[in-house]
Every structure is written in C-alpha cells, then in structure tokens.
Amino acid sequence: MLTLLQTSNSSAIYSLPWLQQGGLLAIGIVLGLFIYMVLFSALKSLFRRSNNEIGILTVNILQTPLLILFVLTALKVLIYSLNLLENFPFIERLLTAGIVAVITYLINQLFTQVIAYSLSKYAEKTEADWDDVLVPLIKNTLPILIYLIGGFLFIQTLGIDLSGLWVAFGGITFVLGFALRDILSNFFSGLVLLVDTPFQFGDVVALQDGSIAVIKSIGIRLTTLYLIDSHCDLLVPNAALESQKLINFSRPNSSYYYTIIVPIRADSDPHQAIKIIEEVILSHPDTLGEIKKKLVAIESFYRMTDQLLDSEDNLSSKKEAGRQRLLAEEKVKVKLEEVKKAIAELVGKIKFMEMEGLDSGEIRAIQGYYLDVVRMVGLETVSEKQKGQKSLYLQESQNMDEDALISLLRSWYRNWQEDPDLIDTDNEVLESEWERKIDFLIKRMNKLLQQIINGNQGLSETKLDDYTEELWKWIQERFQTYASWQSPRIWMQDVSIGGARDSSTINMAVKFFVDNIKLEQCQRGNRIRSEVHGEIVRQLRQAYLYR
C-alpha cells in the first residue's frame, strides 16, 4: 500500500510541469490568436480607409498562411516542451517540412501577387521600356525558382539524403541543357531584348518579310505579335526575333512618313502640279503641316468614298472635327513655346547665378522664377510634413486656368477623339498616351523642384542649369506637335520618255506625315494615304496634268 501511494504521488509530481506547460502554451495560443485577429482587423480597416490596394492585397495573402505558421510553430514548441522528440522524431520533421512548405507558398504569393503587381503599376508610370518587359518575365520565371528551392528544402527537412539527388540533378541539368539549347537560347535572347528594349508593347513594327505587326508580349521563349493584315497572332522565337532586322514605326513617335509617286505630263507646268498636290495634302485633317496653312486649306477638304451621296454628313463632321483639333493644337503649340522660352530664360539666370556659387537668397530667387513656369504648366505647390520637416511638391492646380499647358493638352486630345474615323479603342489609346505624358511631366517638374530646393546643400554635383536643360530637352522631344521639317515635300524624281512626245512623263515624289499610324487598328496610315493619293489624281486630271 505504501509503495502504491509513493508511486501515485510521484506521478502527480511529474505530471504537474506538463500541466503547467500545457496551460501556459494554451494561454499563449489564445493570446496569439487574439493579437492576430486584432492586428489583421486593424490593418484591413486602415488600408480600406486609405484606399491602399497593395496593403489590402498583402493582408489578404498573409492572413491564412500566417495562421497556419502560427499553429505549426505552436505544435513544435509543445513537442519540445513535452520531450516527445525522443519517442516521435518524425513528428518534428513533418512539422518543420510543413513550415517550409507554407513559407515557400507565402513567398511565392508575395512575389507574384504583391511585388509583381506593384512593379506593373510602377511600369505604367515610368518612361522606361525595360520594366514593361521585366514584369512578365518575373511573373513567369520566379514561381518556378521559388518552388524548386522550396521543394529541395522540404525534402531535406524530411531527413532524405540529397547528395545523390544533387548528383543526379546535375547530370539531368547537363542533359537538359544540351537537349533544350534552343529553348535556353530563346530565353537569353528574351533577356537581351529586355536589356536593349528595341520596342515596347503596342509598338508597330515591320518584319523582314514585309509583314506589319504589333508587339503584344515577350515571353520566356516566344514573342507574340499581332499581324495587322491577316488579323492573327504570330509567335516568333526570341532568338529568331533578336536576329531579325526590324523597322519600328512607333519610334521616335507615332507619326509616319509616307511616299507616293505621282506621274504628270512632261509638257505640263510642274509648279502648278506641286501647288495642287500640296493643297490636297494640307487640306486633309490627319496629315501634318503648318497649322495656319492647314486651317485655310481644310475648307476644301475632300473624302473619297464609294457612297458619294451619303458622304456629305461624314465629310462635314470630319472637316469640323479636324478644324477644332487644329485650333486646339495651335493653342498647345503657342503655350509650349511660351513654356520652353521661360525655361530657357531660367537656364540663363541659373548659369549667371552659379558663377560664384549659390547662396540661400539666390536659391529662393530661382525657386520663384521656376514657380512662374510651374503655374504656366497648370501646377501648384503643396507642402506636407515628413519626419518633422516641411517638404514641397507639385500637383495639378485645383483651379487650373484654361490656358494652362495641361488644360490645353487635354482639350487637344479630346478634340482628337471626336474624329469620326476613330474606333472605340482609339479613345482609350489617345487618353492613355497623353495622360501618361502629363504624369511624366509632373514627375520631371517635381524632380527639378527638389533639385532647386536642395541646390545650396551640395546634394548633387550636377548643376541646376543641367537639370533645367534636361527638362527643356524632354519637353521638346515628348510634346512636339509639329515641326517645320514635317511639312509635305514634293519634287521631281525622274522623267520617263516614251516613243512619242505625248507619252513622256515626269514622276513626282510626294512625301507627307500621317499624325498617328497606331490608330484605327493600325490602318489609319493606309486609309489616309489612299485618300490623299486618290484626291491628288482626281484634281490633277481635272487640270489635265495627270499622266
């Protein structure tokens, strides 16, 4: 009896720590779950109030995996505290493997859902082309690498010897590398295309066989192009595309130079023919030329159509839409010249002040001159506190003047959207293109503002006049609406002499710019060239000049 009592007391003594540890662990689990629920509820509420899409997406991804990790970790701590590893070592390995699997899944979700999403949003707001190609490559290749590494760690935590597997993997890699050399070549060619960035998505290119296509996407092995003429997708291996000679119609901008050959009678007056041809080109709303001349010539605008009687309404709306667009474009051109002139004057003032270094008073003076330019663009300064210090940045003015550059640009592309020849998707293309340029303009002007504010703090070795000149050059390149060299050009190319004098012909080379060949499903240029050519022939025949 005494022995039995001693044994009972001893069991109670040894079981007491287990109960204490189990109770403490239970309290910890309940407390952890409470903190988990409160934390995630607070984060969700905070991100919803601030409309933070990235934050909401991150919380939704983390919520379930973190809960599983918490449970697995709690079970592992319980096993350690109860000294069960000696009797059940495989349980510890299973829990560790489960933790590795959950972490692998979590990392993959964070990279593909959050980081890739953030990068895609960032790519939409940058002028660089490489990030438009990099994001799809990351989304396609990174999950494979993450799961491959996670799989090896998972197997290793289960106690499986990987030395033989690594040797076999090395052999398989060698064999696969040799067998899949074409695929690897295409992959690295895709990386070369990423680095060189000869095009971006949506660019119109001509292939070596003469096919006209639109760049749709660059994959790990293939680049997808949309063939305009045949309305189908063309899948080209990256290595083959890299070795091709491509013509990019969308660089440096979307306007394109067309050439047509017009034969006229050798005994006719070339100057009269050139005058007729030039007036026909200038009267078309969708060709480039001196705006004042086009506004005069557009009164005689034509439209070649098979439905001669039903085309009057379309002709009238086309002519009016073209006139309004030209008027809006003229206002943009005038304002751009004012902005560029003001920036050029600012460069001169900065160069003069920088001769002996800039003091705080000169920095304030430069800032005042620059703010005059800012108001011309349609921006205003806003101050906010960051880390206890006030900082200035630019944003669109809440009460923007109608003659501000941004307001005029929007009025211009919205008038352009009234063109009856455009299709529904063209409205989105024009708005996206010009709103993106406006966003870039605001960012560049913000960057210059920060350089001016920090000009006397030695934060950059580059002078302020260099930064200001960079802004001037960027505006000149990105916001050019029309340049004098884009006017129509007509000249005599050659003379063809036949057997009789009446058969002699002078071939006139006619060159003109079309405003944007990416519109109308990339058929805009073909339509305009056909209309221009047809009207030139018609008017030259009426004047008895066409051969």
CATH number of 256-290+484-542: 3.30.70.100
Question: Are 280 and 315 contacting, i.e. CB atoms less than 8 angstroms apart?
Answer: no
Strand (E) or helix (H) holding 349: helix 312-353
Distance between first and last Cα of the chain: 132
Residue 336 has a pLDDT of: 93
Higher pLDDT, 106 or 2: 106
Pairing relation of β-strands 204-206 and 247-248? antiparallel
Q: Residue 465: is its pLDDT beyond 70?
A: yes
CA 206 to chain centre: 21
Q: Residue 215: is its pLDDT beyond 70?
A: yes
Question: Are 44 and 59 contacting, i.e. CB atoms less than 8 angstroms apart?
Answer: yes
Phi-psi region of 332 (alpha: psi -120 to 50; beta: other; left: phi over 0): alpha
Residue 132 has a pLDDT of: 56
The pTM (predicted TM-score) of the whole model is 0.67
Q: Residue 1: is its pLDDT beyond 60?
A: no
Q: How far apart are CA 202 and CA 39, in angstroms?
A: 43
Average pLDDT, the chain: 77
Q: Which fold has domain 184-248?
A: SH3 type barrels. (2.30.30)
Residue 479 has a pLDDT of: 82
Q: Residue 514: is its pLDDT beyond 90?
A: yes
Q: Dump the DSSP string for 323-335.
A: HHHHHHHHHHHHH
Mean predicted confidence (pLDDT) in 53-63 = 76
Domain ranges of the chain: 14-160, 184-248, 256-290+484-542, 326-478
Residue 235 has a pLDDT of: 86
- Among 49, 48, 68, which residue's Cα sits nearest to residue 58? 48
Return the top range by mean pLDDT from 168-177, 368-377, 467-476.
368-377
Q: Residue 294: is its pLDDT beyond 90?
A: yes
Which range, of 17-31, 103-117, 189-203, 453-467, averages the lowest pLDDT?
Answer: 17-31
Residue 400, CA distances (Å) to 186, 298, 475 in order: 50, 32, 20
3 state DSSP class of 234: strand
Given the structure tokens 């493997």, which residue do they identify? 97
Residue 11 has a pLDDT of: 43
Q: What is the pLDDT of residues 409-418, one digit of tens each?
A: 999 999 999 9
Give φ, ψ of 27 to 5 degrees.
Answer: -60, -40
Q: What is the pLDDT of residues 102-144, one digit of tens each?
A: 888 888 888 777 777 676 666 555 555 555 556 666 666 778 7
For residue 305, what pLDDT band results from cuts at 50, 70 and 90? very low
Q: How far apart are CA 267 and CA 364, in angstroms?
A: 70
Residue 16 has a pLDDT of: 43
Q: How far apart are CA 408 and CA 331, in angstroms?
A: 7
For residue 386, what pLDDT band results from cuts at 50, 70 and 90? low
